[in-house]
Structures are given as C-alpha cells and as structure tokens.
Structure 1
Amino acid sequence: MVEKSKRDYGPLDAVQEAMGVMGPWQILIAIALSLVNIPVAWQQLSIAVIAPKTSFTCNIPATISGAVSSHDACAYSTVVNNVSVSHECIDFTFHNEGLNSTMITEHNLVCGRSSLKNFAQAFTMLGILAGNMLFGTLADKYGRKIPLLVALVLQVVSGLLSAIVPWYTVFAILKVISAFATGGTMLVSFVLLMEIVGIEWRSTLSVLFHIPFVLGHMSIALIAYVTGTYFSYSLAISLPSMFLLSYYWLIPESPRWLLAAGKIEEARAILEEAATKNNIPLEKVNAAIEFHSNQNVKDNKDNNQNTYSMLDLFKTPNLRIRTICIAFNWLVCGFCFFGLAHYVSRLDERIYYNIFISAAFELGGIMIVWIFIHRVSRLKLLMCGNVIAGISLLVLTIVTGEAQVWIISVGCCAMSVSFTVVYLYSSELFPTVVRNNGIALCSVSARIASTVVPFIATSGESTKDNNDWLVSVIFGVGPLIGAALCIFLPETMDCQLPETIEDGENFGKKIQSIPVDEEAK
C-alpha cells in the first residue's frame, strides 16, 4: 500500500489550474449547490410530521346510534331483526399530535387504509433511487446544468400539486415524481461541485455539503409549528425550490463536461470567468484547452481497451468481500438513519421538540467528521459511528420517557457520522475503472433499505402488545454487524487510490498472496 502525505496530491491537471483549486468562483457555486439539500431533506423526512402517530375514533351516524350493539375505532355493529350486522367506519374524529391536519386525516389513512401511509414513504425512496439513476445518465449525456434545472422544475410543480389533490392515488404519483426530481438534484449538484473544486478540497466539501441537509431536517419542526396544517406545510416546503430556478443564471455548466463533449468555446468562456474571479492568468485557460485536445487523442486510443461493469466487483476474492462489506454498511446507514428519523416522531406528544433535538445531534455528527476526517482513519470513524448507533438503539428497549429522546438523538449523531464517512470511504475503496459502478451499487443498497423503514418503524402499532422494543432491536443489530464487517476492509486514508481491478484486489494487502485471475482483470 503506497502512502502519501495529506498535501501530496500530485500535480494539478490543466483544467484545474485554469479555474483554480478553491477561490471566490468555487465558493459561490459551492454554497448555491449545497442549498439544494434543504428541500431534499424536506422531501425525505417530512413523513415525521405529515404522517405522525395518530389516534382516532369512529363517528357513528346519529340516525342509527341507538341501534349500535358494539363498536371500536374502525367498525361498529348494529342489530337488525335480532341479527347483528357489521359496518366499516367511514367517518372519523382525529386527535392529532402536531399539525391540525395531516396526510392521514386528509386521505383517511387509518384502519384498512393505514398501510398506505407507509407505501407513500416507500414510493418516495424508490423515486429518489430512480431519479439518481436516470438523472445520472442524463447528466452524462446533456450536461450537469440542464438536468439540474429540469429536476428543480419537476420538484416545484409536483410538490405544489401534491398539496391540493384530494385523491390518494394522484397524491402518491405526485410524491413519486417529486422524489424522482429530488434524486436528480441530489446527484447532479454533488457531481457538479466535485468537478469544479481541487482534489484536496473534495473530502472536506463532501462532508460540509451535508450541512444544509441537516439544517433542512431541523427546520421541519419549525415550519410545521408555524404553518399548522398539512396544506400550508406542503406549500411551505415546495415554494422555496422556486428560488433555486435562479441557478439558470448563477450556476455554470461543468467546464469538464463541456470539454469532454467537444464544446470548446463554451468551456473557454466559463474557464475565463473562473480564472478572472480567482485572479488566475488567462494564459492557463489556453493551456487547458490545448492539454485537453491532446488528452482526447490518448483517450480515443484507450477507449479500445476493456470496459467494466458491476459484475467486475465480484470476480476477484478480495474485491468481492470488500464490495459486500461496504454495500452492507450502506444498507445499514440507509436503514437506520431514516429509521431513526421516522421513529423519533412516534415517541411521545412532543413531535416538534423530538425532531429538532435529533436533527441538531445529526449536525454534531457532521461536525465530528469534519474535525477528524484528516486526523483519524475512515474505518475507525465508521466503526465508532456504527457501534454507538447500535448500542443506543438496543438501550432503547430498557429506557422510557425523556431518556428515549436523548438516546435516539445520540444514535442519530452516530449514524450521521457513519453515513458521511461511508460515502467518502467508498469513493476511495473502489478502483477507478469500477468506481462509479461500486458507488451506484452501494447507493442502491441504501435506498432499498430505506423503503422498508416505514413498515418496520410502525410495526409495533399493528400488534396488541405494541412491541416497540422489537423495532429497536431490529434497527440496533444492523449497525453492530456493519461495524464487525469493517474488519475485512482496508484503510484508505492517505493512500494512493487503486486504478485497475488488480490494484483493487491488492489494495491494503501487505503480502499479495491471492493471484488475480487474468480473465477478471
């Protein structure tokens, strides 16, 4: 394993020299792009306030109330000619905790329809997954800027419409479209950011990029408290995305994509703007254009070489084990992070307080990563985050009352550490030739896990004994297994990253004892 100092990032490529590593031009764009994560948090985590734990009673028609022999919250029985007849309740009185009206009250998602609220959140996560995949392809084909703007427009329109439609089916479709657009904004904004900053800033910005997401999570409680109703809340989290449409003027296209697409003059104009704002000589722009033209000749020759797919992650023994271990850690992060965010609103009547406190602890987790990411190994941070989160969730089975909120908040902080670290670690673990495939596989694992979260988090409500302890155990075991699997992973901090499949197979090995099968290279 070849080590290097933290400042030894090798020579800058010509394009980076032309626009600078980090200057006023990058700072403005980085701040603007990071703001995309605020509505991302609103879309993913609002389920806590729009579909909280709700108690209700059946409104029995006054004309037959005298003939009712028995009733519960979902049905009642009447006696007709000495024969008992059962009736499903169709009108309810709700006793909300939080918003005066919610997704549950607007669409009567109780009794036989109660599972529909979980499907709405599951479809949201699947929509984000689909958006990640499709907008990733669109961004490679049409550039970063246009797909980002298209996703923002979809997000605004679908969000506003979902607040006013009275039909659950249409509402669910609009939620999927909104989630689909959210997935696009998440991916494209991050890719664009990474393409304009210097390599030595990428790990730091990949951490700080998550801060607006947590701020968005914290603001959910405040917005819900101020708005008071489902309709007003939905408008409040949808309208701000309209301001992001100003990105048409604020955000440039990626100069790297423009050069790769052969749009030299457009790339030149953006590079000259960046060079001017960052006080870099314009001669370096011409050098970057010339360098890229020469590089294209080399790349055209390289295109005749092997191409790789996701299957290559499993063809060699070490890389196969590492892929499985890190993918499981992504699954755990998606499962537990969103599980905790969903579960915290079901603890007691102080929904807003619980959400705000747990989100504030998530911000603390990101700050921990920011402070230690260049001082402590990635694996130690990941393992500590997983172990603390797992223990916190298991402790929930034996504590009650106020202590539960604080224990869950500690778990949220720990999972925030794990989720932030696992993304950076994965980008360093996989070889260059399969890096995108590896991260895509891991992202799919996290999204699939997050789709089942609502069903697990609310499973205690469907049992007579209200077995919330079982929910805590299910959420708590996963992080501990994930921490144990980190034993099979190599450290990537301050290491030369693997380029080929063979590099990935031998990465972190002191003795290269396992030969790489020639067919798997």
Structure 2
Amino acid sequence: MVDRPDGKKTKERTPKEEKLYPVEKTADPIISQIGDFRRYQLFFCALIFLSKFGTGWHTLGHIFLAAPTELSCGTENVTDACSDECNDLVFDTSVFHSTIITEWNLTCKNKSLASLSQSIVMLGVMFGSMLFGMIADRFGRRPAFLGCCYMQLITGLVVCVSPTYWFYCIARFLVAFATGGTMTTSFVLIMEIIGPKKRELVAVLYQIPFNIGHASLAVFAYFIRTWRWFQFSITIFSVVFIVYLCLVPESPRWLFTTGRVDESIQILEKIAKHNRAPRENIRPEIEAGYRALSARQPAKKGNLLDLFKTPYLRVKTICMANNWLVVCMVYYGTAQYISKLGGDIFLNNLIAAGLGIPGTCLCVVLTKWLGRKITLMLSNSISAVGLILLVFLSESSMWVQVACATLGLFGASITFPNVYLYGGELFPTVVRSNGVGLCSMVGRIGSITAPLICDLANIKPWITPLVFGIFSVLAVIGTIFIPETRGMPLPETLEDGETFGRKQKPQQN
C-alpha cells in the first residue's frame, strides 16, 4: 500500500510479469537459446518467403514475355511469312499487344533467339547462386541477401526500358544473377535459426512461394498484355523489400562462428524476447559455446575432388547430380512447353503451375512415410509417364496434351523439394557444401538447356516430351543406386561418405 496526496492508501501497481517458456537444451548453442521453432521463427520465415515470389516470376516470366504469337505475311500473293518475298510481317495482337518476339522480330531465322534469352537467364541464376553464396560466407548473410534483393529490383526495372534485344538479354542476365543469389541466401538465413525438428518441414515448404509465383504469372499476364508493363508489374513488388532493412538481422549463427560473439548475443536476446524464452543465461552459455568451438581441433576439410575419389561416393554423387539435372530440365522445360500447346495460355499455365503447390505439400507426406528414395523414384516416374504419354498423344486434342504435360510438371514439383532435402543428407559433412553446390550447378545446366530442347518441337512436336521423358526414366534408374537417408545418422567424414548406406540401419526413435 502507498499513501496518496489526499491521505488515502492505494494498492501499489507492479509491472506485469512476463510468462517465460523454457527452451530444451541441445548440443546446438544457438537453438538452445531461442527454441526450435517459435513465434519469431514463424514470422521470420513468412518474411523471407516473400522473396521467393520474385524467383518464380523472374525465372519463368519468359513464358509470357516471349509468348507464342501467330505470324502472317501482309505482302500480296505471298503466304509464307518467312520467305524472302515477304516484305510485310503481320503479328496477331489479339491476345498479346506486344512481346519480345513482336518487338524485335524474333521469328523465322531469328526464332531461336527467344529461347536463347531464357538460357541466358538460367546462366545468370547459376552464377548468381555461386557468387552470392561466397559473399554470404565471407561478408555475412544479411548484406548478401539485401544486396541481391535490391539488385533484383533495379535491374528488373532496367529490363522494362530495354532498347534492343541484346540489351534485354544482358539486363535479364543481371536480374537472374540477383535472383540466383536470393535463392541461396534466403534459404541459408532460414535454416540457420530453425531447429532440427522443423528444419525438414520448412525446407520443403520453402518451395511453395515459388509455386505461387509461377502460378500467379498467368494472372499478371491476363490483365497486362504488353511485355514492358508485365515486366514492370512482376518487378515493382520488390519495393516491399525495403522493410528488410529493419526486420532482417544478421544470422546469429554466422556471427557466432566468425567470432562476433557480442553481436550474436544481442540478436539472440531479441529473438528470445519475442519467443518468450529465458534470457539470463544467453551470454554465459554462448560465450562458453564459443570457447568450446575455438578449442576444437580443426577437422580435415574436403574438396570437390574428394567426391570422386572413392567408388561408392562417386556413384552416389553422379546419381544425385543427375537427379538435379533432370528435375531442373523437366520443370523449367515443361513449364515453357505447355505455353506452346495452344488453347488458353493463361488457363493452361495457371492449372499446371497451381498443381505445383499440392505437389510440394505431397512431398512432405511422402518423404516422411515412404522415405526420400522411394519418393524420388515415384515422382520421376510420374514425370516420365506423363511425358512419354504425350509422345504418343501428340496428335490428340489440346486438352489431352496439356493434361499429359501437366502430369509431368506435377511429378517434377514433388521432386524439386526432395532433391534439396535428399542431397543435404547424402553427402558427408566435410564435403556437404561442395556436394550440394555441385548438384545445384549441374541442375542449372539442365535449366539452361531446357529452352533449347523446347525448340526441338519446331521439328516434330513429340521430340521435346520424348527427350524429357527419357531423362526422367534415367533419373529413376540412377536413384536405385542412392541409399535411403531417412532416419539415418548423417555421415561426417569421407570414410563415412563411402560406407554410408551399405550396412547402416535406421535409428529407432
């Protein structure tokens, strides 16, 4: 009780005590302070997931930027628009008012230039993921992530004012370069603050914003039929990334491992406050954890060549890299091929891309109950069946062809998140980054060649699905030689990597 000025007594108010929820202590010093997956991690994932919409838009925007356009000849008595006698090319602008094809006359002898521009985009994604990955390791996750987000915005706007075809290709390469960096750095940022119990689930669900971005392209294109304004509409969304300056901190794990312990502690204390976790022991436990980390003898580091020095690890590396090659080739190639099948290009792409969302969700269930290996073989088989059926039904109705191609794309949407998960568990710790990086690079080669394979349909419509179908079958066969990793202890050394999968049995939960 306290005395009031009027002489009466009143009950003293005390600050409301914050209810705290203890955190399970594990061998991981970071997760032991903030919890496995609580309120802050949920908010942070939702925030970073926003950047994945742009990756879908910019990597697959080519579907509508270079949408198929009917061509005819306006010269009297000339029916072949590609003949030398035709002096007046007439494009059908009833669906799209302008595309890069109509803008720069990418037809006839120049027809392959449209697909070349998309191959250049995928080349940019490959180099961007590599370079920004190195920047993130050297200078921090936050500056690398913010840098590629804002580079994506600026270069995306530059594409809108491209005066020539080659200027457009260079600008799109730079957009893709930034997009590749976004893919790499956003995934690392999320994985480094999530505990092992939810890491598998989040790693798979991480693909869903990409699927939504892919599907929403059809909506943008339906309402915006001019390619420059279409490009502007899928780029201007990146303005919201300004909030990242205030809301995205540096990875406390990266700060911890690089010796910036005080900064790591400050961020962990803020996260723990949001998660209602105890904060009084964060500093002593993190400092003790860093002393223990510094006292360890450095383990022998591996390199890329170590993946090929021993026979079984070499086989596993080649087979996993082949799966990455196939899924990137089939996913990006089939997505582009669907736009060439005729019919309603907007509805076809909306349905095909939309099925990627349940495909990703299905991957969560299948990898948990069937394991990584069976799921990978099943999803590649689905792609193979859909695409090979398309070979024999290439003269059927448009809807039958779209259904077969969509089945192939659906299988690839299950495969995509699985290869990320499977690859991360397959390679030993000392060469895990090298292994996943190699697979990612091989995958980009698949996405670079995909548009060129799509052009084979100009010779015979069934050639493109046949190539994709054969590669899907080869992926199924190759997966036979990869061991199951579900429930297995992760390999640590090169010796573990060679013996992993031969005699080990799943751990009992």
Instruction: State the TM-score, normalized to the length of structure 1.
Output: 0.89
Q: Which amino acid aligns with 1:376?
A: L
Q: In the alignment, is residue 253 of structure 1 matched against residue 247 of structure 2?
A: no
Q: Is the 8 A contact 1:165 1:171 kept in 2?
A: yes
1:465-499 per-position Cα deviation (integer Å, ceiling 9, x unaligned): xx111111111011111111111111100110100
1:96-134 per-position Cα deviation (integer Å, ceiling 9, x unaligned): 574221111112111222221111100100100000000
CA RMSD for the aligned pairs? 1.8
Among 321, 336, 350, the alignment partner of 1:327 is 321
Q: Partners of 1:329 and 1:423 in 2: how far apart?
A: 11
Task: Map 1:21-40 onto structure 2 (within 5 A).
Answer: 21-40=36-55
Measure how far apart 1:293 and its partner are. Answer: 2.4
Q: Which amino acid aligns with 1:166?
A: P
In the comparison of the two structures, how many residue pairs are matched?
A: 479
Measure how far apart 1:59 and its partner are. Answer: 4.2
2:53 is paired with a residue whose SS is: helix
Segments of 5+ residues of structure 1 without an aligned counterpart are 1-8, 78-87, 513-521
Q: Which amino acid aligns with 1:478?
A: F
CA 1:293–1:11: 2 relative to 1, 3 Å: closer
Q: Which residue of 2 aligns with 1:313?
A: 307
Q: Is the 8 A contact 1:218 1:360 kept in 2?
A: yes
CA 1:18–1:108: 2 relative to 1, 3 Å: same
Q: In the alignment, is residue 73 of structure 1 matched against residue 81 of structure 2?
A: yes
Task: Map 1:79-478 onto structure 2 (within 5 A).
Answer: 89=87, 92-96=89-93, 98-299=95-296, 301-302=297-298, 305-399=299-393, 400-401=396-397, 402-461=399-458, 463=459, 467-478=460-471
Q: Partners of 2:280 and 2:95 in 1: how far apart?
A: 60
Q: Partners of 2:341 and 2:48 in 1: how far apart?
A: 34
1:49-75 per-position Cα deviation (integer Å, ceiling 9, x unaligned): 111222212444xxxx6xx8x562123
Q: Is the 8 A contact 2:149 2:238 kept in 1?
A: yes
Q: Partners of 1:138 and 1:277 in 2: how far apart?
A: 29
Measure how far apart 1:284 and its partner are. Answer: 3.3
Q: In the alignment, is residue 498 of structure 1 matched against residue 506 of structure 2?
A: no
1:16-45 per-position Cα deviation (integer Å, ceiling 9, x unaligned): 111211111111110111111111001111
2:392 is paired with a residue whose SS is: coil
Q: Which residue of 2 aligns with 1:85?
A: none
Q: Is the 8 A contact 1:53 1:97 kept in 2?
A: no
Q: In the alignment, is residue 480 of structure 1 matched against residue 473 of structure 2?
A: yes
Q: Is the 8 A contact 1:14 1:284 kept in 2?
A: no
Q: Which amino acid aligns with 2:312?
A: N
Q: Which amino acid aligns with 2:107?
A: V
Q: Which residue of 1 aligns with 2:19?
A: none
1:458 is paired with a residue whose SS is: helix
1:402-456 per-position Cα deviation (integer Å, ceiling 9, x unaligned): 1111222121111111111111001000000000000011001110111111111
Q: Partners of 2:216 and 2:181 in 1: how far apart?
A: 22
Measure how far apart 1:292 and its partner are. Answer: 3.1
Q: Is the 8 A contact 2:261 2:287 kept in 1?
A: no
Q: Which amino acid aligns with 1:307?
A: K
Measure how far apart 1:308 and its partner are. Answer: 1.4
CA 1:511–1:307: 2 relative to 1, 3 Å: closer
Q: Which amino acid aligns with 1:73?
A: A
Q: Partners of 1:337 and 1:97 in 2: how far apart?
A: 29
Q: Which amino acid aligns with 1:57?
A: S
Q: Partners of 1:163 and 1:99 in 2: how far apart?
A: 16
Q: Partners of 2:148 and 2:503 in 1: how far apart?
A: 46
Instruction: State the TM-score, normalized to the length of structure 2.
Output: 0.91
Instruction: Give the number of the structure with larger relative contact order, counting CA–CA contacts within 8 Å between residues 6 or more apart.
Output: 1
1:488 is paired with a residue whose SS is: coil
Q: Which residue of 2 aligns with 1:518?
A: none
Q: Is the 8 A contact 1:20 1:274 kept in 2?
A: no
Q: Partners of 1:440 and 1:158 in 2: how far apart?
A: 25
Q: Is the 8 A contact 1:14 1:291 kept in 2?
A: no
Segments of 5+ residues of structure 2 without an aligned counterpart are 1-23
User: What is the percent sequence identity of the aligned residues?
Assistant: 37
